Amino acid sequence: MKKASFVTMVALALLATLAGCGPKKSLTLEERRQVVADMEEAALERLYREAPEAKDKIAQAPGYGVFSNANVNLVIASAGSGYGVVVDKATGQRTYMKMALGGVGLGLGAKDYRVVMIFKEKSAMDKFVESGWDFGAHADAAAKAGEQGAEASAEGDIRSQIEVYSMTETGLALQATVAGQKYWKDKSLN
């Protein structure tokens, strides 16, 4: 197989896999917001079970974000997309957001996971909502299929003012990639 054909095939497979991420456009605005709220509630319940200290951290934080992400790694490329919400606890303002991830490196597999971000400073939350960019390199291994296996891990900080917890939902991924992530406001839900 020619190199260009292989790269095209990998890109098309990544796009096809990620096309369905997020609340369906056929739902009403309120139904789509409810999908996000349901995901948020389930992710927080699970986080509090698996990392009880996170409940106090969120209670003391100016805000938090919860995201549902899907990531696919196919040999030399990785891509992902997702959706979520950032909540300003002082005002109750909910900012609905989308995310995308792209990278290069060795990997194979797919991962469905939840991310909870705890903003230690209001300025970090405001900056994230307005510019929402994170770029980094990571290596991880996670496995879960059905009820077998799991992962919940504190990843430290993104820009020292955000604490991040990742919880793998399903799938298997072995990767060593350099990946860029972009978060932005979801105009259709805000």
Q: Which residues pair with 72 in a beta bridge?
A: 79, 110
**Residue indicated by tokens 């389930």:** 42
128 vs 150: which has the higher pLDDT: 128
The confidence band for 97, taking pLDDT boundaries of 50, 70 and 90, is very high
| Per-residue confidence (pLDDT) for residue 167, from 0 to 100 | 86
Confidence (pTM): 0.73
The confidence band for 19, taking pLDDT boundaries of 50, 70 and 90, is very low
How does the average pLDDT of the chain come out, rounded?
75
| Per-residue confidence (pLDDT) for residue 54, from 0 to 100 | 95
DSSP H helical segments within 100-139, as ranges? 122-131
Whole-number Cα distances in Å, 53 to 33, 63, 154, 158: 28, 16, 11, 19
